[in-house]
Each structure stands twice: as structure tokens, then as C-alpha cells.
Structure 1
Amino acid sequence: MSASILYIHGFNSAPASNKACQLITVMDSLGLADQLRVPALHHHPRQAIAQLEQAISEMGRPLLVGSSLGGYYATHLAERHGLNALLVNPAVSPHRMFDGYLGTQKNLYTDETWELTHDHVAALAELEVPAPQDAQRYQVWLQTGDETLDYRLAQQYYRACALRIQAGGDHGYQGFARQLPALLSFAGISSDQYQSFDFAAL
């Protein structure tokens, strides 16, 4: 499948998240729905990675678009398979952030409750890879107003990659819809297919 996109949502998120819905709307409107996958990921990292590996095997060489924890997953998979990745406010070493957060969690979109355990944290640690060095394969979009993750951690970790840092914003990445043409271009979708689309209306 050519010019395909695999969207990887974040921690306690879902395909119903704002960014995912905007991307789904665009791809549907362009008649490219079959070139997009937005899986609902299991909360356990090992099962989530298995889901994503299956999607990659079916899609060929998709662009990985990862948000927050999804950016961490995307980095692991991009390094393993030599894929391109676009990361939106990605988490860096998330296993180091969960001290004190073990216990009951609730998905923000599905209301599913589950237990975050030491095994989840260990599974996240297993996915860590050395900082990517191939600037051509990575775009990293950061907003300095991210209230959940310190953007400077990603700025440092991904320093060899193509960084796009915007002042302000938030963890959800304000103005994502306006940046979608750059995402589609990075995925290999011709601008002829979306130049007349009104991204501001999303």
C-alpha cells in the first residue's frame, strides 16, 4: 500500500481523540480512507506493539504518526523497520515518568479502567532505543506549552532529527489541523489531492 499512514494514539487515548478524528476526516474526504489505520491500542505496551506490528505487516511501509506515548511507540517501530515517523509532542523514556502513578487508570475516551503495574513500566523500558540519527526519516513537532511533557526532553533526544518547535500550545498540539498538509506531504501524498481542501474548517 503506497502513501499510507499508521496513526498511533497516546496514553489513555483512543481513535476518538481530536487529532485522530481530524486526520480521519481528511483522509475520508480525499477518498484515501483505505490508506489510513488508527487502531485502538491495548493499554499494555507489549500487546499494543503486537497490534502495531500486525498493522505494519499489512500496510507495507506506512508513515508512522505518533502522539505522546504513541510517539515513543512510533520511534521504536521506525528504528526497527527503517520507517519514516512524524512525532507530535512525543514522550521520551516514559517508563521513568510513572513513579507514583501505578494503580487504577481510566481511558479518557472509552471510560475503560485498568491497572498500571510494574510490568507495564518494564515493558515500556524494553522499547527504548538510542536517539534517532536519521533526520530524513523523522519529523518531530513540539509545542513549548505542553503541560504534560517537558518539550525540552524531546528537543534534546531528537536533536539530530527535523524539529519543528512552536511557542505556546499544549499537549494536545494546538493548530494540528493547519499542519496536516505537511503531514500528508511527508506521507508521500501528492499536494494535488488536497490543495483545495479547507483544513481550517476542521
Structure 2
Amino acid sequence: MTSVLLYLHGFNSSPGSAKAQQMAAWVSEHRPDIEMIIPAQPNTPAAAWAAIAHSIEAARGRYGAQLRLGAVGSSLGGFMATRVAEHHGCRAALINPAVRPHELLQDYLGPQTNPYTDERYELLPAHMDELRALAVPVTAPERLWILQQQEDEVLDYRKALDEYRFARLSLECGGNHAFVGFERYPAQIVRFLGL
């Protein structure tokens, strides 16, 4: 089997985000047998999902039945990683995951600039429809591990507790949306993903 770890960044983020790089550094040092994929997702939901799906299909093309897939997603990436877990039957670790992002991102409609890439684009009501269409019910919560910090200033952590109520949960007091101290978790995440 060939292990592939798919890391999905959040809204207005990039593969250069701190957690993505911490995860990649840990994998490179401790588990170089794992192929880590951090797709650069376009800024709009349907295009982002298409990029994620393409990355998975490319890995399937390389490894076929030998592919062992695991996903990690932060914020909006957690929403996408939930979809990956449901569509591909793999495990996923979700870090401060976005719940019902079609409601959450209503406040962000209009001109946007991705601070990592400097790309400018407009977030439109049609993109909220795309997010609604991408949502999937959680049918196998045992495949999910939620890492949540209560002082997340962007997302209400209680929504994640409700949405993923039967999943494995690590809830920490304090912290923030970036997830303070994430470097404590890569080894445990890889073990949970079964990679």
C-alpha cells in the first residue's frame, strides 16, 4: 500500500499556511514514505472541489488499488475533508472545521484578496449555492477526528460539536482559529488516519 496524506487549507489560504507547512515538515522528517499532497485550491468552492478531486484522481492513477488515503482539513478545508471522507471512505482530521459555510461566508460576500497569493476575486451569492451543493451528511463519524479550540475567533466551536457529535473530539480551552500548538498533533493525526 502507498499512503497519501491530502492536506486541505481553508478560505483565503494556501499550501503555504503554517499548519500545512508544519504537517509537511513532520511527514518529511518522520514518515518520508507518505506522499503528502497540498493542492493549491482556487478561491471559489466548485473550482476548489474540482482541484481536490483532480488531486485524488491523480493519486489513484499513480497507485490504483494500492492507494491508502487520509485527509486533513483546516476551517473550510475541514468542510472539504468531510466530503473527501464521505466520498472516498477514508479517515479525516478536521481542525476548527467550518460548519454550514454557505451561511458563515455570507458576511464575506464582495471583493476579496487572498493574503497568501494576492489574488483578487469576488465572492458571490452563487458561491454560497456551490457550498450548499458540496455539503454532505456525516454517515461514518468514526472516520473523523475533530480538533477544536474554544476561543476560535472566526467560527463558533459549538456548531462543530453539534455537527460532528459522534466523531472523535479533542476540545481545548483557549486557542484561536489558527489552532495554537498544532505542532503537537501531526504524529497522532497520521496514526489516526492509518497511514
Same topology, TM > 0.5? yes
What does residue range 103-118 of structure 1 map to in structure 2 within 5 Å? 103-118=110-125
- Is 1:124 aligned with 2:126? no
Q: In 1, distance between residues paired with 2:33 and 2:47?
A: 25
Percentage of matched positions with identical amino acids: 41
Moved more, 86-95 or 179-188: 179-188
Moved more, 140-149 or 51-60: 51-60
Partner of 2:3: 3
Partner of 2:58: 58
- Is 1:26 aligned with 2:26? yes
1:48 Cα deviation after fit? 1.0
**Contact preservation (8 Å) 2:93, 2:189:** yes
Match of 1:134 among 136, 140, 144: 140
Runs of 4+ in 1 over 3 A off after TM superposition: none
Please give the secondary structure, in 1, of the residue aligned with 2:2: coil
The two structures have a TM-score, normalised by structure 2, of 0.90
Q: In 2, distance between residues paired with 1:156 and 1:40?
A: 30
- Is 1:43 aligned with 2:43? yes
1:23-61 deviation per Cα after TM superposition (whole angstroms, max 9, x unaligned)? 111222236276100111001111111111111123334
Partner of 2:93: 86
Q: In 2, distance between residues paired with 1:188 and 1:58?
A: 21
1:133-185 deviation per Cα after TM superposition (whole angstroms, max 9, x unaligned)? 42331101100010000000000000011111011100000110011110121
**Contact preservation (8 Å) 2:113, 2:121:** yes
**Contact preservation (8 Å) 1:8, 1:66:** yes
Runs of 5+ unmatched residues, structure 1: 190-202
Q: In 1, distance between residues paired with 2:7 and 2:99?
A: 18
Runs of 5+ unmatched residues, structure 2: 60-66
The two structures have a TM-score, normalised by structure 1, of 0.87
Which letter maps to 1:83? C
**Contact preservation (8 Å) 1:133, 1:161:** no
Greater share of helix residues, 1 or 2? 2
Partner of 1:15: 15
